[in-house]
Amino acid sequence: MSENQVITPEQLEEYMQGLYAKSKVAQKKFEREFTTNRRVDEVLRAIGMKTCEYAEELCTDALNETKMGNVNDKMSKLKGIVFGQWAICKGQNTVDYEDSPLEPGIKILYKPMGVIGCVMPSTNPVATIIGNAMMALKGRNSVIIAPHPMSVRLSVKMVKLLREALESVGAPADLIQCISEEYASREATNLMMSTCDACISTGGAGRVKAAYSSGKPAFGVGQGNVQEIVDLGISDAELERQATLCVAHRAKDNGVPCAGAQTVHIHAQQLEQWKGYMQEHGAFLIDKDEDIAALRALVFPDGGTKLNRAVVGKFPYQVGEMCGLNIPETAKIMLVKNQAWGEAEVLCREILFPIVRYTVYEKFEDAVDRAVANLEVEGAGHTSTLWTTDDDHVEYAAKRIPVGRFHINQPTMGGRIPIITSITIGCGTWGGNSVSENLTFRHLLNKTRVTREISGTQPWYCTDWDNFEKFNPLAE
């Protein structure tokens, strides 16, 4: 087909049905022939190792194609996802029987969902491809990648490498396929989601909403707009630690990751000391009204709420050049004064370059209210952090802030905690998602319950309204 030839809906339908048919054949072969957890794990090992082998080349290609972020941080995130998925998946059972944790005597047998359609974001294409692929293949599913038009060449190249890795361990290459550059489009992505057996959508709110409207089971991610509250009473050393980590994490991949802090709520008594720490560790302070207005006009043009894509993944000095601010190339992030929240200030929304806004509060309850107001505009369900020594404040904030991950005395990207690593951060109904936890291979499995009669078993049936104990169907 020539470069300028228009693809008709009929041609697109035929193409997508062809991808799905090949994917289904490969998935069924995978399910029938790879019948031990070790064999499945060898497949994950092969595609994970291949990705790491070509990590620098793939991340360089991603930067060259999308013009977002930087290579070193992309590689760090990529390896974090690959090694994280390997740790989560290896040795875990997706093939054999397991006892049901709730139903005595019942065995659960895991089975694949089938063909998983995976929608890629432009901001993080490399890590998302391998993260989705490892999760899906652990459950003996197959995947079809729908690349973002801004990163289609990288996606096609990466999938080619992964297919080579599959063949090297005797697995069908068609377990991983990618919509070609010729066909890649919004229409193709929508058709893929309605064709596959289930889909994972990582990207903007529109793509996630489309996934849930596809008519197929879907897993999406909510937008980030991470709030960070610094409570009065933490030590000077802890205050500096918070500032250091805030700058470092917000600067990662030029502010593209969704889990970096967007707004910090700081007590008035700590403000000057905290600003000093932030600037010492690489923040460029913007606190003049005219400079903030110029930045606002650039980031959200024409008084709207749609983020200007020209600023996404850019260094602070590059953003400064676009709006007439002289920001040194050494600056890691922008630090912007912001005494408005919620609907009152568009700068309270998620912004995908290295920028942190700060609000100053006098009462802890006001800081929580402002964080909630920002999240209710954008970012509910994702992540927030509280730095404190007051357990009552932990209890108060945790009950009120609508997020799936609430970190205490840690950076917003998490610290040394055993929360499962994932490329897909579910934000629950707050963020319009089906799960409020990090997506794992376990979400991509069907389950068969195998039951046998057990003598003396009682039905799940209780007429005693005064008995508040857990029901036990095996009790006499």
443 CB-near residues (< 8 Å, 6+ apart): 135, 219, 435
Number of H helices, E strands in the chain: 14, 15
User: Nearest-CA neighbor of 229 among 405, 358, 419, 316?
Assistant: 358
Please give the Cα distance from 126 to 121 (Å, whole number): 9
- Within 13 Å, how many C-alpha atoms sit on residue 346's CB side? 16
Instruction: Determine contact, residues 475/457, Cβ cutoff 8 Å.
Output: no
Pick from 251, 248, 272, 250: which is nearest to 261 by CA? 250
Cα distance between residue 207 and residue 428, in whole Å: 16
Comparing CA positions, the residue from 335, 332, 253 lying closest to residue 286 is: 335
Instruction: Spell out the residues 6+ positions from residue 288 whose beta carbon is closer than 8 angstroms to its own.
Output: none
174 in Cβ contact with 93 (< 8 Å)? no
Compute the distance between CA of residue 171 and CA of residue 159 in angstroms, rounded to an integer: 14
Question: What are the Cα distances from residue 357, in Å, to 128, 374, 395?
Answer: 28, 12, 25
| Catalytic residue list contains 258 | yes
| Active-site residue (options: 258, 323, 427, 462) | 258
Element holding 153 (H helix, E strand): helix 152-168
Structure token pair of residue 82: 């690959």
The span from the CA of 240 to the CA of 327, in Å, is: 23
Q: Which helix (H) or strand (E) holds 397?
A: helix 391-400
Query: Do 219 and 200 contact (CB within 8 A), yes or no?
Result: yes
Rounded CA separation 219/465 (Å) = 38
Phi and psi at residue 119, in whole multiples of 5°? -90, 125
The residues carrying an active-site annotation are 258
